[in-house]
């Protein structure tokens, strides 16, 4: 367990038991076309409960688009999308989104910078971006918010205004917020973009700790750096030009050859102490 991490208290329920391996995400033949350009092309991808996935590729590969489609925030031009067993277009997506955690640039842009970090987290209970006075919160909600901040080694930030936090601190607060609805799948869209080395390593440690908990939800992390892959993430999808180059178990899929194909240049890859490193 990483220094500063805390085990998830038993009073905080997460998702289904680890023996449940049913699909939480299923994309079949998915294409997204905008202004005549394919952002995604014939994507097939499946994620099962409690799996930890990395979606990796160069800028413009379609990683964020794939996440937005999988989380129902963007509709496909072609193909089918199932989230938590429900097909997109045949279900009220607002109900589905209550069972999904999402942390990325989109939600972050809606946060009021004057609100304390603890308020940012607790309002995730209602997927709200307004002050806490507009909804009712129980003592258990506040306790859970503190527990999730502790889980991300960020409870010391609880009284700080969100706008005064560093980029890394904001990301940990937003991930804690995304856990407030006990999501069955957690999407992290380039959560480490703009972080310095220390902030990145603290977030990697927090995500590794989350991944180590067998009761935590399925997690999908988007990145374009192999160095940002936390230990414990066991699956990867490599994207390039809107298509899946390869996907599956990270030990089988992530190689120097597949990485070179994904980024369109010769790359070397090594793994030390559970972390990946790549260079040209």
Cβ atoms within 10 Å of 16's Cβ, excluding its own: 15
Q: How far is residue 145's CA from residue 149's CA, in Å, rounded to a whole number?
A: 6
pLDDT value, residue 137: 83
Task: Count Cα atoms within 13 angstroms, Cβ side, for 63.
Answer: 27
Tens-level pLDDT at each residue, the chain (280 residues): 343 433 343 334 444 444 456 999 999 999 999 998 999 999 999 999 999 999 999 999 999 999 999 988 899 999 999 999 999 988 887 788 778 888 876 566 678 889 999 999 998 887 666 666 667 788 999 999 999 898 888 899 999 999 999 888 888 898 899 888 889 999 999 888 878 898 889 889 989 998 998 888 999 999 999 999 999 999 999 999 999 999 999 999 999 999 999 999 999 999 998 899 999 9
| Non-local CB neighbours of 109 within 8 Å, separated by 6+ positions | none
**Joined tokens for residue 112:** 């009021």
pLDDT of 220 = 97
Which pLDDT belongs to residue 4? 40
Residue with tokens 């379609």: 62
The two tokens of residue 178 are 């995304």
Contact 219, 211 (CB under 8 A): yes
State phi, psi for 57 to the nearest 5 degrees: 175, 175
pLDDT at res. 28 = 97
Beta bridge partners of 47: 25
Amino acid 16: pLDDT: 42
Task: Give the Å distances, CA to CA, from 266 to 54, 103, 200, 254, 261.
Answer: 21, 32, 26, 14, 8
pTM here is 0.83
Residue 262 has what pLDDT?
97
Spatial separation of the C-alpha atoms in residues 190 and 55, rounded to whole Å: 10
Where do the H-state alpha helices sit in the chain? 63-70, 93-97, 105-108, 117-122, 139-151, 167-178, 197-212, 250-253, 256-263
């Amino acid at each position: 367990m990483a220094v500063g991490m805390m085990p998830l208290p038993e009073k905080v329920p997460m998702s289904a038991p680890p023996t449940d391996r049913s699909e939480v995400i299923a994309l079949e033949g998915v294409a997204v076309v905008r202004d005549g350009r394919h952002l995604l092309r014939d994507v097939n991808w499946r994620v099962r409960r409690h799996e930890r996935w990395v979606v990796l590729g160069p800028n413009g590969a379609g990683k964020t688009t794939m996440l937005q489609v999988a989380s129902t925030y963007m509709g496909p031009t072609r193909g089918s999308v199932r989230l938590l067993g429900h097909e997109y277009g045949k279900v009220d997506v607002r109900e589905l989104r209550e069972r999904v955690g999402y942390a990325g640039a989109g939600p972050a842009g809606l946060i009021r910078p004057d609100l304390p970090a603890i308020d940012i987290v607790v309002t995730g209970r209602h997927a709200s971006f307004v002050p806490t006075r507009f909804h009712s919160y129980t003592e258990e909600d506040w306790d859970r918010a503190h527990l999730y901040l502790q889980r991300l080694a960020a409870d010391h930030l609880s009284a700080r205004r969100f706008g005064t936090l560093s980029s890394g601190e904001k990301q940990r607060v937003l991930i804690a917020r995304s856990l407030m609805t006990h999501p069955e799948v957690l999407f992290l869209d380039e959560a480490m973009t703009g972080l310095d080395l220390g902030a990145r390593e603290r977030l990697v440690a927090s995500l590794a700790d989350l991944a180590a908990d067998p009761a935590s939800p399925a997690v999908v992390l988007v990145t374009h750096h192999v160095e940002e892959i936390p230990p414990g993430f066991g699956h990867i999808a490599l994207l390039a030009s809107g298509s899946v180059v390869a996907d599956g178990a990270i030990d089988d899929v992530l190689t120097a050859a597949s990485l070179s194909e994904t980024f369109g240049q010769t790359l070397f890859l090594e793994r030390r102490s559970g972390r990946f490193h790549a260079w040209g």
